[in-house]
Structure 1
Amino acid sequence: MRNTIFSLIAISMLIGMLIFSCQPHVSIETAQYAINGQKLYVTHCQSCHGAKGEGLGMLYPPLTDTAYLQKNRSKLACIVKNGMTGPIEVNGKIFEGDMPANAELTNVDIAYILTYITTTFGNNTETYTQEEVKKSLADCRM
């Protein structure tokens, strides 16, 4: 049973890597980060932001606004790690729901999640690196 579960996980990861790697302009590293990020997204983000990043009514914003993701790229790691309170405008709409902190996530976890979000919902093809996360987190503490 344990081998079957492991085999299914390995096969699904391989299929995911093939799908991402077949996309033009997506590096193998980006594909690997996005696949790992998908699992973390399901665990930590999907219940509020939706399976397709569509958000939840007027409570939680969608993650499909490419302009917002690009404009605020340097702040995204800080938002994921520390949460966010107060209103936020996305796609011309105001959202009032607070985002809880995810203090238990490591820098690499955050890089995985943000790569998944920005490549899947934001149509970006760049890896959100661990170094970028580290810098973003250092800047948001200032």
Structure 2
Amino acid sequence: MGIRVLIMLFACGATLSGCDNDRERTIFLTIASVRPADRQELYYSSGETSWKPLYICKRGSEEWEIWSAWNPIHGFDERYEEGYEYRIEVAHRTIAYDNNVADANPDTYRLVRIVSKIKKTSEGIPAHFLPEE
């Protein structure tokens, strides 16, 4: 009976140790009040779901970057309204895949909460990225 318990504990420990490579951390982002210019290469669509890119500013930075639609922030896209600048808290998880998984994206992003939503025009976005009027 004792050996069975030891084997089960060893098996459980080996199974759980595979999860040690998965990491989750919290990041804070500012999301601009406008989306990038309509360029198809920036958009992602898969079956019933499609995401659009965003302009983001990471905490501690003053430079706007394009947040690719290939890494959607799950739970945010359907809440985004143009004309509002957002500060959001996001859970960023990196998953360690086996080398056998070819095109797997190791990063996933999930909205934790909207810290603030302010009606305003975001400033400092590079003009060549703005939609033409």
| TM-score range relative to shorter protein | under 0.3
Bigger radius of gyration among the two: 2
Higher fraction of strand: 2
If the length of structure 1 is used for normalisation, what is the TM-score? 0.22
Per the normalisation by structure 2, the TM-score is 0.23
